[in-house]
Structure 1
Amino acid sequence: MAIATSPQKITTFLMFEGRAEEAMRFYTSLFDDGEVLSVDRYGPDQDGLEGTVRHALFSLSGQSFMCIDSPARHAFGFTPSVSLYVRCDTEEEIDRLFGELAEGGQELMPLGSYGFSTRFGWVNDRFGVSWQLNLG
């Protein structure tokens, strides 16, 4: 099977160790236009655990993302020094996204008013991916 590619020249690529599909489904549920575009799974004679994500492509707010379940274990994970920045349109949106992303994760900066923003929050989600949310 051919691996689907993103129409973007530069695409965020997220590497998981067995939780790629769970993360992708969670992220696409957060945004009204979130969509899983393609999923290619490891088969019985491939390097990864059969049935896990060999390569997937999904979209959030018109932005493409790729993810995989790495067959190799790594001594590293995600870091907050690289994060997904979301400009929220309403207080309801920022409150909902922050609450859902923080569940099982870690708040780095609670939702609040900061010198650079009247409503901002920063969170690592349950998968370790870092999100900065700002009320536009």
Structure 2
Amino acid sequence: MYVQPYVFFNGRCEEALKYYSEKLGAEVTFQMRYKEAPPEAQAQMPPGTGDKIMHAAIKLGSTVWMASDGRCDPNAGSMNGFSLSLTVDDDASAEKYFNALADGGQVMMPLQPTFWSKRFGMVVDRFGLGWMVGVPEEQAS
């Protein structure tokens, strides 16, 4: 058994996946748009959402997570209550990925030494998704 994060981007999924692919090296391994779904699934969506992403699988490092545009509700609030934790092999990678995620986002805790990691920081990216970036102490360089 395992748990996979499933992230809803409220209409910005394609933009987010492209960004994570370019900046983090993520790979979209599967993608289905609402217009490709069976008619009963399409009927449940607001008009004009056919080109939005119904489901995607993303591989980032050795992790596969999932994403969707969700209901594309303009009244939905931003994401909160969780973060994705990105564990990297070295300080240079931590700096690179942290800065990429911070571009257009908000730094919640600068990348810095902590008692559990040589480098750790927290950021909310431009899509409202929280990230914790760190280098495990045993791998810190």
Task: Using structure 1 for the length normalisation, give the TM-score.
Answer: 0.82
The aligned counterpart of 1:5 is: none
> Does residue 37 of the first structure (1) align with residue 29 of the second (2)?
yes
Structure 1 gaps of 5+ residues are 1-7
SS at structure 2 position matched to 1:115: coil
Provide the C-alpha distance between the structure 1 equivalents of 2:21 and 2:133, rounded to a whole number of angstroms.
16
The aligned counterpart of 1:99 is: 99
Instruction: Report the structure, 1 or 2, having the larger helix content.
Output: 2
SS at structure 2 position matched to 1:22: helix
Q: How many residues end up aligned between the 2 structures?
A: 127
Alignment of 1:62-77 (within 5 A): 62-73=62-73, 74-77=75-78
The aligned counterpart of 1:16 is: 9
SS at structure 1 position matched to 2:14: helix
Alignment of 1:41-52 (within 5 A): 41-43=33-35, 46=42, 47-48=45-46, 49-52=49-52
> Does residue 78 of the first structure (1) align with residue 62 of the second (2)?
no
Deviations, residues 24-46 of structure 1 (Å, cap 9, x unaligned): 222233344x2111111122972
Q: Tell me which amino acid in the other structure corresponds to 2:70.
A: S
Greater C-alpha Rg = 2
The aligned counterpart of 2:128 is: 128
* Maintained 8 Å contact 2:109/2:123: yes
Instruction: Report the structure, 1 or 2, having the larger strand content.
Output: 1
Q: CA deviation at 1:72?
A: 4.7
Q: Where in structure 1 do 4 or more consecutive aligned residues deviate above 4 Å? A: none
Provide the C-alpha distance between the structure 1 equivalents of 2:3 and 2:22, rounded to a whole number of angstroms.
23
1:28 to 13, 21, 27: 21
* Maintained 8 Å contact 1:41/1:55: yes
Q: Tell me which amino acid in the other structure corresponds to 1:108.
A: M
